[in-house]
Amino acid sequence: MGKTRLEAFSDGVLAIIITIMVLELKVPHGATLDTLAPLVPVLLSYVLSFLYVGIYWNNHHHMLHTCKHVTGGILWANLHLLFWLSLLPFVTGWMGENHFAALPSAVYGVVLLAAAIAYFVLQQRIIASQGPHSALRHAIGSDWKGKLSPVLYVAGIGLTFVNATLGQALYVVVALLWLIPDRRIERSLHGTT
Amino acid sequence: MGKTRLEAFSDGVLAIIITIMVLELKVPHGATLDTLAPLVPVLLSYVLSFLYVGIYWNNHHHMLHTCKHVTGGILWANLHLLFWLSLLPFVTGWMGENHFAALPSAVYGVVLLAAAIAYFVLQQRIIASQGPHSALRHAIGSDWKGKLSPVLYVAGIGLTFVNATLGQALYVVVALLWLIPDRRIERSLHGTT
Amino acid sequence: MGKTRLEAFSDGVLAIIITIMVLELKVPHGATLDTLAPLVPVLLSYVLSFLYVGIYWNNHHHMLHTCKHVTGGILWANLHLLFWLSLLPFVTGWMGENHFAALPSAVYGVVLLAAAIAYFVLQQRIIASQGPHSALRHAIGSDWKGKLSPVLYVAGIGLTFVNATLGQALYVVVALLWLIPDRRIERSLHGTT
Amino acid sequence: MGKTRLEAFSDGVLAIIITIMVLELKVPHGATLDTLAPLVPVLLSYVLSFLYVGIYWNNHHHMLHTCKHVTGGILWANLHLLFWLSLLPFVTGWMGENHFAALPSAVYGVVLLAAAIAYFVLQQRIIASQGPHSALRHAIGSDWKGKLSPVLYVAGIGLTFVNATLGQALYVVVALLWLIPDRRIERSLHGTT
């Protein structure tokens, strides 16, 4: 089975997720700056989630580049990842509308953590399907980003109950960590071609 | 006529259906666990519908894999299937917001039943278009899953009025039945290649 | 310039239009049949609009099949068509929520009429771009459906103010007229190949 | 890395942006012309934004046509552009619902300005990736439209506080400026082939 439709479907879902998040920015009923002010935290949470969906799309793109055959297991691992990412608009809106309160920030981190685990599972499925000389396993190397992120999410979730801002700062740190495009796979592929 | 645009359009509609369902998870107005509690049934119904759309996408993917020519009949049978699936966000929200009450659960089952029948009609259209040596007919074999599912949906719809939970359990059973990826077509295609 | 992205973009917009229309089916606040009853006209107007978007997607598909080069004029004529179709969710919801009252039904017809004119303009643009031996001009022949539809829409719009049901019936008649798949282009292409 | 998925993802996001903007046209609760009247400014702002998204899609299409390799920098410059365009539904709704009041009109201009800058950055990234004989640099020539637009946006933003209508008129002027399809790249490509 080819991967074209898997990519097309994933692109479609990610494009919709990234765009419907903006619907949580409800149009205010006045035309003054005062009416815009309460939307600032919603906008900030939107920016963070936009970055995360962009990062996932980017890395997903790179990862599937190494994948030739799509098995049933890969299909479902991919849907599992999309499920957690589909909850981002909800937790983004909840965190933004409550001005980054502790509990919504923690739940936001839980969704990020679950998505990271789902991404890891998908990665393992693809590696397993590629056999002993997996191009993806070679490409990700030590995968220190993939291993560090869940640890930082868990730390962030815990921190939100001590100081919500510190916890959110950790989520931003992980985003910045990934924002640097994942050149590992690119390099590795170039190295072998 | 090629099938590329049929697949692209179906993928688009399914990607949107699976994603807008999450809009029924309305962002609550408080930041406490209490405000999240009423959303649990909505989340559960979302998970079930997400599974169903994933299953339909997966099987649709396999089925069209065997299809070379797209006739007008296939186009409309496909739109008919998408129509019933497009009602899933509505019935999912209605069932979830009413905490799995009897009537919404029954109506949810009716939409699942109608989608199953529409899928069967589309399958027959493709088989008919393939002539006597239809690859799809060969691939689905006895199609026991396709034949059992409508029976279980009807049983589930009836059961919701006796005990709503039992009826819903049957819907979950059908989803699990299909969750096991449909290897019949894969195997059959491998066998002939 | 190729037509792949034009098709992909149009498919995307049509897939979103056909799906977000269902968001006008607002989830009711009760779990009884009474709460569902007011939604019946909204559902009926959704079915009619779903048919129309399906017909436009189907015919658009056929028309672009004959088109090799996409000019700037074709691009904008296509966006013009998508603009009018993008108003369908609004007029569908308005007509449905007002139980097919006269004015919303007339406005619904105006949008159908504008979309039909936009489709005709797009068709002419493609024919003009194909030169004297246009495959599309040959394929559509007398184009009696394309010429009759606007007349019936105008009649329907006028009739809604006399008897709303009669006007709506005319819209249904036009849909049924087109529902019969447009075999003219298929046949013509087969005849020349 | 190929550009297929970049185009598909961008097309998806732009198709969703152009379509969800229509959701700001809330279905009114009556069936008379009076209930439709307050929607006229929302419709007008929708038309303007529809034009802008159409222009961006069109130009994006042309620009990527000259682009062979997609670097990490291009990917993120593209997401940056999509981010600003994703705010269009919000500012369109805000401007329309407040009947083109000064502040919403100015904020609308700020989003147009930010999108124009993001488009310019993306263009520079692609030119840089193409080396000294960049096909895109050759194609855009003096890029007078790209250079004039931000100046007109800034003038328009300033003008909204003096006379909102004048400011909005400038936004319309920029749209009309671009509505004339960008034949520069087409010509340049034809000239070299």
* pLDDT tens track for D102-146: 999 999 999 999 999 999 999 999 999 988 888 888 888 888 889
Residues C11, B172: Cα–Cα separation, whole Å: 33
Three-state DSSP class for residue C67: coil
Is it the case that residue D91 has pLDDT exceeding 90? yes
Model confidence at C193, pLDDT cuts 50, 70, 90, reads very low
For the record, the structure tokens of D149 come out as 């637009």
Q: Which pair of tokens denotes residue D106? A: 């100015």
CB C108 within 8 A of CB C92: yes
A54 to chain D, any CB pair closer than 8 A? The answer is yes
Q: Can you give the pLDDT at residue A144?
A: 87
Q: Which of chain C's residues have a Cβ under 8 Å away from the Cβ of D50?
A: 79, 83, 86
> Phi and psi of C47, rounded to 5°?
-60, -45
The rounded distance, in Å, linking the Cα atoms of D132 and D109 is 34
User: What are the helix (H) ranges across D3-142?
Assistant: 4-20, 33-36, 40-65, 72-86, 88-97, 102-129, 135-140
Which of C5, C70, C71 should be substituted to probe chain D, the one whose Cβ sees the most D Cβ atoms within 10 Å?
C5
pLDDT value of position A193: 41
Which helix (H) or strand (E) covers residue A41, if one does? helix A40-65
Assign A76 a pLDDT band (cuts: 50, 70, 90): very high
Structure tokens at A129: 């399907």
The mean pLDDT value for D166-174 works out to: 95
Tell me which residue in A16, A90, A102 faces B27 most closely, judged by beta carbons. Answer: A90
Q: Minimal Cα–Cα distance from A146 to chain B, Å?
A: 26
Residues of chain B with pLDDT under 70: 1-2, 181-193
Give C-chain residues touching B5 at CB under 8 angstroms. Answer: 7, 11, 61
A45 with A10: CB under 8 angstroms? no
Give residue C134's pLDDT.
85
Question: What pLDDT, on a 0 to 100 scale, did the predictor assign at position B182?
Answer: 53
Helix axes D72-86, D4-20, angle to 10 degrees: 10
Whole-angstrom distance, CA of residue B114 vs CA of residue B120 = 10
Query: Which residue has tokens 């049934």?
Result: B41
User: Between A49 and B7, where is the model more confident?
Assistant: A49
pLDDT band at residue C165, thresholds of 50, 70 and 90? very high
Angle (nearest 5°) at CA D41 between D35 and D45: 135
The whole-number pLDDT of residue D120 equals 95
Average pLDDT over residues D16-40: 91
Q: Are the beta carbons of C160 and C100 closer than 8 angstroms?
A: no
Handedness of CA D62, D66, D70, D74 (dihedral sign): negative
Question: What pLDDT score does A187 carry?
Answer: 61
Local confidence band at D193 (pLDDT 50, 70, 90 cut-offs): very low
8 Å CB contact between A20 and B20? yes
Interface residue D2 vs chain C (CB under 8 A): no
pLDDT in the model for residue A133? 84
What is the pLDDT of chain D when averaged over all its residues? 89
Q: Do C12 and D11 touch (CB under 8 A)?
A: yes
CB D113 within 8 A of CB D154: yes
Asked if the C-beta of B129 comes within 8 angstroms of chain C's C-beta atoms, the answer is no
Place of tokens 């009602």: B87
The residue type found at D13 is V
- Mean pLDDT over A157-184 rounds to 87
Please tell me which residue, C7 or A190, carries the higher pLDDT value: C7
What is the model's pLDDT at position A142?
A: 83
Share of chain C above pLDDT 90, in %: 64
With an 8 Å Cβ cutoff, are B5 and C11 in contact?
yes
The phi, psi pair for D27, rounded to 5°, reads -65, 120
The answer to whether A77 touches A123, Cβ cutoff 8 Å, is: no
- Quickly state the pLDDT bin for C139 (edges 50, 70, 90): confident
Residues of D in Cβ contact (< 8 Å) with C18: none
- Cβ(B53)–Cβ(B71) under 8 Å? no
Sort C142 into a burial class: Cβ within 10 Å, 0-12 / 13-18 / 19+.
exposed
Angle at which helices A72-86 and A102-129 pack, to 10 degrees?
Answer: 170
Minimal-distance CA residue of chain C relative to B20: C20
CB atoms within 10 A of CB C114: 18
Structure tokens at D31: 């069936």
Q: Return the H-helix or E-strand segment holding D160.
A: helix D144-162
Interface of B with A in 19-38 (CB under 8 A): 19-20, 22-23, 25, 27-33, 36
Interface test with A, best of B3, B27, B179 (most A CBs within 10 A): B27
Q: Is A15 within 8 Å of D13 when comparing Cβ atoms?
A: yes
Asked whether the beta carbons of residue A76 and residue B181 sit closer than 8 angstroms, the reply is yes
Residues 6+ apart with CB under 8 A from D39: D25, D26, D28
Q: Is C14 on the interface with B (CB under 8 A)?
A: yes
**Alpha-carbon A169 to chain mean position:** 16
Q: What is the mean pLDDT of residues A132-156?
A: 89
Judged by CB atoms closer than 8 Å, whether chains meet at D72 and A183 is answered as yes
Q: Over range A104-127, report the average pLDDT.
A: 96
Residues B62, B65: Cα–Cα separation, whole Å: 5
Angstrom distance (rounded) from CA A154 to CA A110:
8
Which residue shows structure tokens 């002419």?
A: C124
